[in-house]
Amino acid sequence: MIDLLASPITELYGIGEERARDMAALGIVSIRDLLEHFPSRYEDYRVRDLTEVKHDERVTLVGTVYGEPSVRFYGKRKSRISIKLVIDRVVVSAVWFNQMYVKNQLSPGKEVVVTGKWDKHKLQITVSEMTEKDSPREKKRTDLVPVYPLGAGVNLLFLRKTIQRALDKYKSQIPEILPEELVQKYRLLPRREAIEAIHFPQDAEEGKQARRRLMFEELFLFQLKMQAFRRMTRQQTEGVSQQLPMEEVREFVRQLPFPLTGAQKRVVKEILDDMQAPYAMNRLLQGDVGSGKTVVAAIGLYATVKAGFQGALMVPTEILAEQHMDSLQAMLEPQGLQVALLTGSVTGKRRREILDALQMGQIDILVGTHALIQDDVFFKNLGLVITDEQHRFGVEQRRVLRNKGLSPDVLFMTATPIPRTLAITAFGDMDVSTIDEMPAGRKPIETSWAKHEQFHTVLERLRVELKHGRQAYVICPLIEESEKLDVQNAIDVHAQLSVYFKEYQVGLMHGRLPSKEKDAVMQDFASAKTNILVSTTVVEVGVNVPNATYMVIYDAERFGLAQLHQLRGRVGRGADQSYCVLIADPKSEVGKERMRVMCETNDGFELSQRDLELRGPGDFFGTKQSGLPDFKVADLLSDYKALEVARQEAAVMVNSDVFWKEEKYGWLRQYLRTQGILEGTVLD
Ligand code: ADP
Ligand code: MG
């Protein structure tokens, strides 16, 4: 069948070579491109009620001309016409600048439709467009008139006219691409009608339905691609189907000092199921700070070792590596597992020994920083790799990791809660497990916000905690452009506080310290030799000192909400009530709102959702490549429910046999092929 929509736009009346070049600059080459060049917004010509219009708003009103127009000339060829209009028994004035020709149309008693800017105080509309009520022109105009992204040589009127022509000629060629069952189930407009209506809606409701249909289609196609991609990678990776001794694993869980939360049980099952399945696991585990991810990791590692494999845990910093080493050792060595640590500071003979033992299979679990994926590190039989704080590892590092063994199962853990809409969009090809429940008995951290001028009061409050034998963190910001300045900042704060709290010990931690010294500083704080730890954000992740109950964060407005939440997670780790004070003088309303949000909620997922709403999806992931697609119609913030539905429907579809066979899904299969997903590789 000939695809007429693929015809060049020069097929249309009025488009020659030159016009075609101008349009191509906007990405419009074929008729299809033109029809899918959607309006960015609409001019709204709905007639408004005087009582509801706002100051400075562009509005359309209907009124009756009352009296004669008054005309004034000024300057060179400048004129102003004004007249009284009666609208709902209210007299308002309408003015025109430099449009002398309207004078003759303004005879008393005539009903006119005027569009322009409304001045609430003067009860006056400055008219930019006028039509006579019930004139052919007025009747032809719809409520909403499209406004498009434009370019050189392509103006609005031309584009409207051209799109209308294309619709007249080619509308009947627009195929339905969504399966009939989805169109019915979600009461979507047929594609043909939706495309016409998004350009020229008869009324606001029709415009809304058109957008809804095209938004759903866009999200569905995106999710279909992600789900098909996931299915394809699963079938292509020759993962190991690990034979886990489930009874032993259950026994290990039973002897832990606490029962797992419901959420922990659920994610453990998801992970172990993946490990037993014949494909390589590619799973993201997200859970708020303190939700208990480490024990979940330990269970996975225990299981892989009991199935005859080795495990690896990779973390971003040495401090964190050591902490994980300690907690894993405590849980796993009594079970007879060999756990070893490999970081940049393990060198020489010790390093050689570890590498040999690893290759011979004498080490069961290796914990470390990226030192763990260097060229000379070889595992005997790597079954499971876990990375903590995955956003700090690049794609390349993940690939190197995967190539270390026989396609190990990979689990990415993150304590940065990613709002679900973003997670299933940016990581759509991954499986996501979420721990959304805290262990019982945690006291929520009390967070407050203070101005710099209240700093003294904050310090006195801190002194009370110290008197009760508690410890505190004071966090100074670290801004990437100038680590040097920030370190200096931390040194200064440390000096000040050392004087202020003469009778206490104040420690100092920052990224420029040699790692031996860092260890010593952490050790002193963990053993309560120091009472206060002044630190840059290097203590952001993982650090666990339950006796620390007070945290002060300097210049809190310079941090992202997710990061503040991470930092705050360093306190509230013991049984006592903990506090976090944000010192900040934000200037903007958004800045203030962000501080308030921090004080209101302790729930990382809610915070990240609010952060997303305040900053928008683009900013959420920072300036780095976000991996988020550029949607034409859909909006990740407002259309998240549809995204969820689209994902479910897409998953069901790609995993059903009929989808890959039946005629009616032909268009979608063709679409997947254009996206690099080959039916042959998906069908086994
Ligand atoms: P995360 O890594 O997710 O921030 P951790 O794994 O460090 O959290 O756990 C935080 C603390 O909670 C640890 O002291 C851990 O022993 C404890 N913990 C974990 N799971 C439970 C549970 N189910 N019940 C009680 N305490 C738990
Ligand atoms: Mg952790």
37-41, 209-213, 343-347: range with lowest mean pLDDT:
343-347
| Cα–Cα nearest to 414, from 399, 426, 396 | 426
266-280, 378-392, 398-412, 514-528: range with lowest mean pLDDT:
398-412
pLDDT confidence of residue 288: 83
| Cα–Cα nearest to 576, from 661, 465, 681, 422 | 465
pLDDT confidence of residue 446: 95
Mean model confidence pLDDT for the chain:
87
Mutational pocket test of ligand 1: of 254, 286, 291, 294, the residue with most ligand atoms within 8 Å of the beta carbon: 294
Task: Please tell me if the CB atom of residue 323 comes closer than 6 angstroms to any atom of ligand 1.
Answer: no
Ligand 1 atom nearest to 259, measured from its CA: 23
Query: Is the separation of the CB atoms in 294 and 327 below 8 Å?
Result: yes
For residue 258, the CA-to-ligand 1 centroid distance in Å is 9
Please tell me what DSSP assigns to residue 154. Answer: B
Does residue 3 carry a pLDDT above 50? yes
Distance CA 4, CA 20 (A): 17
Residue the block writes with tokens 């010593």: 520
Token pair of 293, please?
């991810």
Q: Which residue puts its alpha carbon closest to atom 10 of ligand 1? A: 290
pLDDT confidence of residue 677: 75
For residue 676, the CA-to-ligand 2 centroid distance in Å is 37
The residue type at 353: E
Alpha-carbon distance values, 161 to 5, 15, 138, 191 (Å): 18, 11, 17, 21
For residue 290, the CA-to-ligand 2 centroid distance in Å is 7
Mean predicted confidence (pLDDT) in 548-575 = 88
Query: Is the separation of the CB atoms in 277 and 238 below 8 Å?
Result: no
Distance CA 71, CA 100 (A): 9
Does residue 614 carry a pLDDT above 60? yes
Q: What is the set of domains in the chain, with CATH numbers?
A: 46-141 (2.40.50.140), 446-601 (3.40.50.300)
For residue 365, the CA-to-ligand 1 centroid distance in Å is 20
The residue type at 636: L
Does residue 598 carry a pLDDT above 90? yes
Distance CA 369, CA 223 (A): 34
Please tell me what DSSP assigns to residue 122. Answer: T
DSSP string, 354-407: HHHHHHHT--SEEEESGGGGSTT---SSEEEEEEESGGGS-HHHHHHHHTTTTS
Task: Please tell me if the CB atom of residue 417 comes closer than 6 angstroms to any atom of ligand 1.
Answer: no
For residue 421, the CA-to-ligand 1 centroid distance in Å is 26
Most confidently modeled range among 18-27, 107-116, 217-226, 298-307: 298-307
Distance CA 582, CA 568 (A): 10
| Cα–Cα nearest to 538, from 563, 562, 516, 556 | 563
pTM of the model: 0.67
Q: Which residue puts its alpha carbon closest to atom 13 of ligand 1? A: 292
The residue type at 62: V
Mean predicted confidence (pLDDT) in 239-265 = 92
* Beta bridge partner(s), residue 446: 579
Task: Please tell me if the CB atom of residue 97 comes closer than 6 angstroms to any atom of ligand 1.
Answer: no
For residue 289, the CA-to-ligand 2 centroid distance in Å is 7
Query: Is the separation of the CB atoms in 417 and 605 below 8 Å?
Result: yes
Residue the block writes with tokens 């004035």: 93
pLDDT class of 226 with cuts at 50, 70, 90? confident
For residue 40, the CA-to-ligand 1 centroid distance in Å is 48
Q: Is residue 75 packed enough to be buried (19+ CB in 10 Å), middle (13-18) or exposed (0-12)? A: exposed
pLDDT confidence of residue 141: 79
Q: Which residue puts its alpha carbon closest to atom 18 of ligand 1? A: 292
Radius of gyration for the alpha carbons in the chain, expressed in angstroms and rounded: 33
Indicate the SS3 state at residue 570.
coil
Positive or negative, the CA dihedral 142, 148, 152, 154 is negative
Each residue of 450-474: pLDDT tens digit?
998 999 999 999 999 999 999 999 9
Task: Please tell me if the CB atom of residue 421 comes closer than 6 angstroms to any atom of ligand 1.
Answer: no
Task: Please tell me if the CB atom of residue 294 comes closer than 6 angstroms to any atom of ligand 1.
Answer: yes
pLDDT confidence of residue 397: 62
Distance CA 382, CA 402 (A): 9
For residue 601, the CA-to-ligand 1 centroid distance in Å is 20
pLDDT class of 231 with cuts at 50, 70, 90? confident
Q: Which ligand is nearest to the CA of 289?
A: 1
Task: Please tell me if the CB atom of residue 489 comes closer than 6 angstroms to any atom of ligand 1.
Answer: no
Token pair of 325, please?
């080493």
Please tell me what DSSP assigns to residue 269. Answer: H
Task: Please tell me if the CB atom of residue 386 comes closer than 6 angstroms to any atom of ligand 1.
Answer: no
